[in-house]
Chain A
Amino acid sequence: MSPSNRTGLLRSELRTLFRRLRTLMMLAVLAGVPILLAWAVKAFSGPSGPGEGPPFLYQVSSNGLFVALTALIVTLPLFLPLAVGVVAGDSVSGEANQGTLRYLLVVPTGRGRLLAVKLASVIVFGAVAAFTVALVGMAIGALLFPLGPVTLLSGDTIGSGAAFGRALLVAGYVGVSMAGLGALGVFVSTITDVPIAAMATTVTLAIASQIVDAIPQLHALHPWLFSHYWLAFGDLLRQPMYTADVNRGLLMQAGYVVVFGALAWARFTSRDILS
């Protein structure tokens, strides 16, 4: 076995994913959000005060870095989960529906290995999606607005270099926050051979999780919802960083990946491939 081909399946999977027009369109839509946001503030620079529009919006005109943060907040409830839901839901059922699953398996790829690669590429896609929003936001923000020291939520001020680092950290956290949903989607994808059903189910679960999270009477369920700590990234914008909720969020994502990864494995390695 030549060591250079160990990662062949993963490389081929990522190449296939990011060469697909649908993937590029979804990333383009995500990139359009910070562009729309920055353009709207620039073109109609009526003063918007604190509390008007999404958080941080009023700070955009004074510091371009806030375009990235505002865009992440705006895309977090629907656009990011939608994109991840499409890729995760399609991951196995799409191959089954297309018939390519049987050819990949007789190569042979090994079912566990194929599933691990699918899960990994979904997680990579979630991170790429979050960084697309953040980096395009930073770029357009730097282009249209001044950059400078940033006043954090705790009232402290940090230099623009450090602020840039914080924004990347936030994007990374948001990216990792999509991993649990991705694992859930891959599991759903192993149950059906109809990709559209798996995608719709995954996106529905993402929205349902946020609805349950918004009902105070159901607070007993909240710590178990994969979306519960999504907005904890605000804690990374304090000095010193408050990491308790962020750590819980990371642990939650890891838990979802392990549990639903295992369920997907149990399902996928035992079923007949009749598509």
Chain B
Amino acid sequence: MTDAVVTRGLTKRFRGGQVAVADLDLDVPQGSVFGFLGPNGSGKTTTIRMLVGLAAPTSGTVQLLGEAMPRGSAAALPRVGALIEGPACYPFLSGEANLIRLDMADRTADPRTRTARVDTALQRVGLLAARRKRYKAYSLGMRQRLGLASALLRQRDLLVLDEPTNGLDPQGTREIRALIRSVAEEGATVFLSSHLLAEVEQVCTHAAVLSHGRLVANGTVDSLRTAAAGHLVVSTQDAGVAVGTLRRLGVKEVTCEGGQVSGLADSVPPEVACAALVADGVRVQSLGVQRPSLEEAFVALTGEGFDVAE
């Protein structure tokens, strides 16, 4: 089974010489929910534009559902639903009329099932009641939902969703998460670009992290989380003794803060550390290994700074 998205050496250099995406090798397994992470300005949207053939790579290749892009657009894109950099519709048309316009533009869509498919898509995103309202009267959340509805107009093999929960309230975010899960259960691959780590952690099976246009991590969500080192944390009244014991065992970066002693957990198994501490007479109140959240892993990979990447 070929991967849903494969890129090799994908690079985009803009006319000013600025490199937006550099030498990107992505493999998005079929049926996965793939989180595409990165701070603002890291090249996520530029990558997506190249995936769907809106922008031409400076060098490198894209394979979308087995078709070389952009040459294979006509074969691949009908099987792809996309939400790219926010929704965009005709403000003077109703939500329903906007979907009909897109469906009429699709030469491969069956006009006989159009009404039914438009209804289903509107219903899936909870917009059925507002179908006849003009798009310009829609709130940001409703617009986002309509954008998702257009991605769901047909049975898709791949959904490319760029920040799909942008502007949604907490209920809306939950609904979208449920929607992504249900689409994935139907067998579609979901490529989800986001900077909301909780979102990715909850729905994604795989993730890649982009920083300054370069891939800094790539794999299953679990492997990303464990790749960042865990910490051995000991609570005790005998902190001074514990520090000595751990250092003797070879634990690195041992620090002591109040009654808590911690160090990198990778070299010494916790059961060995525990036995040694007890043997040294340390009154251990608790001992455990803390795994970082995806957020901590993300910050460790992309840097702490608040500034937009150049």
Give A residues with C-beta under 8 Å from B.
Answer: 1-2, 4-6, 8-9, 11-12, 15-16, 19-21, 98-100, 102-110, 272-274
Contacts and interface: CB of A to CB of B under 8 A. Distances in A.
A99 B55 contact: no
B41 to A, nearest CB: 14
B80 interface: yes
A12 B88 contact: no
Of A5, A6, A98, A105, most B-chain CB atoms within 10 Å: A5
A169 B101 CA distance: 34
Given A2-B111, A6-B107, A273-B55, A16 B49 contact: no
Interface string B79-100: 0101011111111110001001
A102 B54 contact: yes
Given A5-B111, A99-B86, 12 more contacts: A1-B107, A4-B111, A8-B105, A12-B105, A19-B93, A21-B92, A98-B90, A106-B80, A107-B102, A108-B106, A109-B105, A109-B106
Given A103-B102, A106-B80, A110-B73, A9 B88 contact: no
Contacts of A272: 49, 54-56
Contacts of A98: 88-91
A9 B105 contact: yes
Contact of B106 (A8, A15, A16, A274): A8
A102 B77 CA distance: 12
B104 A8 contact: yes
B150 interface: yes
Interface string B45-76: 00001001111100000000000000001100
B88 A103 contact: yes
Nearest to B110: A2
Interface string B2-19: 000000000000000000
B109 interface: yes
A21 B54 CA distance: 30
A12 to B, nearest CB: 4
A274 B73 contact: no
A5 to B, nearest CB: 5
A15 B103 CA distance: 14
> Which of A1, A20, A99 has the most chain B CB atoms closer than 10 A to its own CB?
A99
A273 B55 CA distance: 6
Contacts of A4: 111
Nearest to A273: B54
Contact of B107 (A9, A20, A274): A9
12 contacts: A1-B108, A5-B110, A98-B90, A99-B87, A100-B88, A103-B89, A105-B54, A106-B53, A106-B80, A107-B106, A273-B54, A274-B54
Contacts of B92: 19-21
B77 A9 contact: no
A5 B102 contact: no
Contacts of B52: 106
Contacts of A8: 104-107, 109, 111
A131 B256 CA distance: 87
Contact of A102 (B84, B104, B106, B109): B84
Nearest to A21: B92
Given A100-B88, A106-B77, A12 B101 contact: yes
A98 B98 CA distance: 13
B29 interface: no
Contacts of A19: 92-93, 97
B97 to A, nearest CB: 8
B78 interface: yes
Nearest to A100: B88
Contact of A100 (B89, B97, B107, B109): B89
A8 B106 CA distance: 8
Contact of A99 (B73, B88, B101, B110): B88
A33 to B, nearest CB: 25
Contacts of B104: 5, 8-9, 11-12
Contact of A106 (B84, B93, B108): B84
A274 B85 CA distance: 10
A86 B11 CA distance: 38
A21 B134 CA distance: 13
Interface centre among A6, A19, A103 (most CB of B within 10 A): A103
10 nearest A-B pairs in the assembled complex, by CB-CB distance: A99-B88, A12-B104, A108-B77, A8-B104, A272-B55, A273-B54, A9-B105, A107-B105, A107-B106, A106-B82
A103 B111 CA distance: 19
A102 B54 CA distance: 7
A148 to B, nearest CB: 44
A4 B113 CA distance: 13
Contacts of A106: 52-54, 77, 80, 82, 84
Contacts of B78: 107-108
Contacts of B73: 108, 110
A274 B55 contact: yes
A109 B87 CA distance: 18
A98 B260 CA distance: 56
